[in-house]
Amino acid sequence: MFFDPKKTKDEIVVWIREFFQKTGPSCNAIVGVSGGKDSSVVAALCSEALGRARVIGILMPKGHQEDINMAHKLISILGIKSYTVNIEDCYKGLMCHLENELPEITESTRINLQPRLRMATLYAASQSLNGRVANTCNLSEDWVGYSTRYGDSVGDFSPLANITVGEVLALGKELKLPDDIVNKVPVDGLCGQTDEEKLGFSYKMLDEYIRTGVCEDTALKEKIDRLHETNKFKLELMPCFPYKP
């Protein structure tokens, strides 16, 4: 399926402007900047839509982050204001209390607490900096539930929610972001694996399946379908009891 990066980029820029005009004409875009392609593309789109003075990058390492130089590079290229909030002490403190009180702590708890603390940090920054929090997830990740509920899965506006990984790469090139940022191997920084290693299939194959409905590998097709159905709830509003007085 043909993807026009310039047309899509221009449309997203207009969409961001309209969102802010409706929800806060003087508000800033708050972007959690990791140095990866998604947050970099979102920051660049917001900068074009609102002007760099209204985009604020929040860097949130947990202790030492080996590739944080990529986040600093993106901040420098865009010329946006940024703040660094290290979540290490907060994470250790909360984990200590959890370990003392709960009978068991699962590995999923340890992993997913990090993006949830980062999202809390983004909203704290947003309330203090007159902001709106940008969600930086893309369609491919959301399709198979590769996000943390009430962590990186949320935000106030989501420029890439309907854009696949391959299309995000094309947008990055259209925005003239450096190749080492756009083509940086995607990792979540949580489990020690690349995204594709953890998922068990490539984003290229997933993107093709999403856009065409074709996947020749039956086993992988079944796995993707299962992940999609199992994780749909992450993108839906919380179910509410339909009480009628």
Residue ranges covered by each domain of the chain: 5-235
Cα 10 from Cα 3, distance rounded (Å): 13
pLDDT number for residue 193:
75
pLDDT > 80? residue 112: yes
81 touches 57 (CB < 8 A) = yes
Count of Cβ atoms closer than 10 Å to residue 242 Cβ: 5
Q: Residue 143: which of 201, 218, 87, 57 has the closest Cα? A: 201
pLDDT one-digit tens code per residue, 128-174: 999 999 999 999 999 999 999 999 999 999 999 999 999 999 999 99
pLDDT > 70? residue 239: yes
The whole-model pTM stands at 0.94
Share of the chain above pLDDT 70, in %: 98
Q: What does each C-alpha distance from 195 to 145, 161, 203 come to in angstroms?
A: 12, 17, 9
Cα 31 from Cα 122, distance rounded (Å): 8
pLDDT number for residue 189:
62
- What the block records as the tokens of 143 is 């399709």
pLDDT one-digit tens code per residue, 14-68: 999 999 999 999 999 999 999 999 999 999 999 999 999 999 999 999 999 988 9
**Arithmetic mean of pLDDT, 81-109:** 97
pLDDT > 90? residue 226: yes
pLDDT number for residue 1:
67
Cα 33 from Cα 68, distance rounded (Å): 9
- What the block records as the tokens of 3 is 């993807």
90 touches 66 (CB < 8 A) = no
**Arithmetic mean of pLDDT, 1-8:** 92
pLDDT number for residue 205:
94
Architecture of the domain spanning 5-235: 3-Layer(aba) Sandwich (3.40)
